[in-house]
Amino acid sequence: MFRQRLTVVTASIFLLIFGCGKKEDVIKIGEYGSLTGLTATFGINTDRGIQMAVEKINQEGGLLGKKVVVIVEDDQGKPEEAATAVKKLINQDKVIAVLGEVASSRSLAAAPICQEAGIPMITPSSTNPEVTRKGDYIFRVCFIDPFQGDVMARFTYNDLKIKRVAILRDIKNDYSVGLANYFAEDYKKLGGQIVGDESYSEGDIDFRAQLTSLKSKKAEAIFVPGYYTEVGLLVRQARDLGIRIPIIGGDGWDSPKLIEIGGKALEGCYYSNHYSPDDPDPLVQSFVVEFKAKYGELPDAMAPLGYDAAMILFEAIKKAGSLDPSKIRDEIAKTTDFPGIAGKVTIDSLRNAKKPAVIIKIENQQQKFVKWMYAEEKI
């Protein structure tokens, strides 16, 4: 009995020590991302981008005279962990704003928490439209999936001249399900046919059953709006099964690991993305050079988007002239023509950014820029 009490007392002491934070005069920003797990490169590269932004801003003297500190939490790629991480950042670390996440499912889990707490959240690359609908404190600096689905539909139908497409979606992720639906809708409107629709779950390692089923549908391409780990694996299995048609996807493919996993099987595949390191724009190139010098590889889209999200947040804090989250929120909403690395950012009334997409082709196991795609003006 006594031993139990001793444990509880010791535990409480530990809690007090770790529970209280030291009071320092810094600006605390929270970041949550998938630093481990199946989509680890998303979190890691976004973090790299954010860290570069923080370094830059601190070199320039910080914000409002104070140093900027980013507190990073790993959500392991799990939505329930994202919710917990954000709660901790807001309640324990008392951050004034939150950056994250890449995957829409995790952003969706965290957004209601930020909204309720009145802490602005900027997601660098979640593309599911539901995310910003969670409340007026939630923003994004990238395009949304209705646009992305339309882009891929148009590219597939008009540019690749493909009329029959099968879909293989990841039902565990809102992003994948949403993007698959938007693609299908627009593709059919253009006159294309969706000849098959199968699903897998993030974390699956064997896709042969679904691929075999789709093979018999005689598609000319397979649309796989999933994340890079599963995509890499399934493209290889598709080729093993004798499926030679192009496999296409969305920005969830973007990772240095994609080609590492998929290898030669990815030859002739396409996907839509937020930016390309081949972009000759000097702003982009200077970022690419700096990133490569620091981390030894070319940045994928997550890094510049993370950088942009952080910079836009810092700009808003500067303009607000205070650490009051509601004032910061208002300034974020007013962002117009911000010169982001991954494109100019203007936050619209739905708190999304209208940006063009870029089509990437995989050739000789490298990602090559193909073309820019813009939103079509609906007459």
Partner 1 sequence: MNQTKKIILIVLFSGLFLLLDVLISPRLNPYYLQILIYCGINIILAVSLNLINGFTGQFSIGHAGFMAIGGYTSAAFTFYLGPKILETLFFPLWFSKPLVFVLGLLLGGALAAFAGLLVGIPSLRLRGDYLAIVTLGFGEIIRVFILNIDAIGGARGFSDVPKYTSLFWVLGFTVLTIVVVRNLVYSTHGRAFLSVREDEVAAEAMGINTTWYKVTAFVIGAFFAGIAGGLLGHYLQYLHTNSFTFIKSFEVVMMVVLGGMGSITGSIVAAVILTLLPEVLRPVKDYRMVFYSILLVILMITRPQGIFGVREFNWDWLKKIFSRKKAQAEGA
Partner 2 sequence: MQEFIQQLINGITWGSIYALIALGYTMVYGVLKLINFAHSDVYMVGAFAGYYSAHWLGIAENPSVPKAVLVMLISMIVCSCLGMTIERLAYKPLRKSSRLAALITAIGVSLFLENGGQLVFGADPKFFPQLIEGQEIWSKSGIVISNLQLIVLLASLTLMAILQLFIYKTRTGKAMRAVSFNIQVASLMGISTNKIITITFAIGSALAGAAGVLVGLTNPKIDPIMGLLPGLKAFVAAVLGGIGNIPGAMVGGLIIGIAEVMTVGYLSSTFRDAIAFGILIAILIFRPAGILGTSTTEKV
Tokens representing residue 378 in the block: 């609906």
Q: Which residues bind partner 2 (CB under 8 A)?
A: 36-38, 40, 76, 171, 198-201, 204-206, 208-210, 212-213, 215-216, 229, 233, 236, 239-242, 260-261
Does position 71 interact with partner 1 (CB under 8 A)? The reply is: no
> In angstroms, rounded to a whole number, what is the distance separating the alpha carbons of residues 71 and 204?
32
Tokens representing residue 228 in the block: 């890079």
The least distance separating partner 1 from the CB of residue 75, rounded to whole angstroms, comes to 11
DSSP secondary structure letter of residue 63: B
Q: Which does 293 bind (CB under 5 to 8 A by kind): partner 1, partner 2, none?
A: none
Does position 174 interact with partner 1 (CB under 8 A)? The reply is: yes
Q: Which does 107 bind (CB under 5 to 8 A by kind): partner 2, partner 1, none?
A: none
Bridge partners, 357 (sequence order): 373
Bridge partners, 339 (sequence order): 344
- For residues 99 to 138, the per-residue mask of contacts with partner 1, x marking binding by CB under 8 A and - elsewhere, is ------x--xx--xx-------------------------
Helical residues (DSSP H) of the chain, grouped into ranges: 2-19, 40-59, 79-91, 104-117, 130-133, 145-154, 174-190, 208-215, 228-240, 256-262, 282-295, 302-320, 325-333
Tokens representing residue 272 in the block: 């839509």
Among 48, 140, 172, 355, contact with partner 1 (rule: CB under 8 A): 172
The least distance separating partner 1 from the CB of residue 74, rounded to whole angstroms, comes to 10
Does position 22 interact with partner 1 (CB under 8 A)? The reply is: no
> In angstroms, rounded to a whole number, what is the distance separating the alpha carbons of residues 310 and 322?
17
End-to-end CA distance of the chain, in Å?
77
**68: amino acid identity, one letter:** V
Bridge partners, 97 (sequence order): 29
Does position 28 interact with partner 1 (CB under 8 A)? The reply is: no
DSSP secondary structure letter of residue 377: P
Q: Measured from the CB atom, is 82 or 151 closer to partner 1?
A: 82
Bridge partners, 361 (sequence order): 270, 368
Q: Which does 209 bind (CB under 5 to 8 A by kind): partner 1, partner 2, none?
A: partner 2
Phi, psi of 325 (to 5 degrees): -55, -35
Q: Measured from the CB atom, is 226 or 325 closer to partner 2?
A: 226
Q: Which does 260 bind (CB under 5 to 8 A by kind): partner 2, partner 1, none?
A: partner 2
Among 6, 8, 26, 209, contact with partner 1 (rule: CB under 8 A): 8
Among 201, 213, 322, 326, contact with partner 1 (rule: CB under 8 A): 201
Binding site for partner 1 (CB under 8 A): 1, 4, 7-8, 10-11, 14-15, 18-19, 78-80, 83, 87-88, 91-92, 105, 108-109, 112-113, 171-174, 177, 201
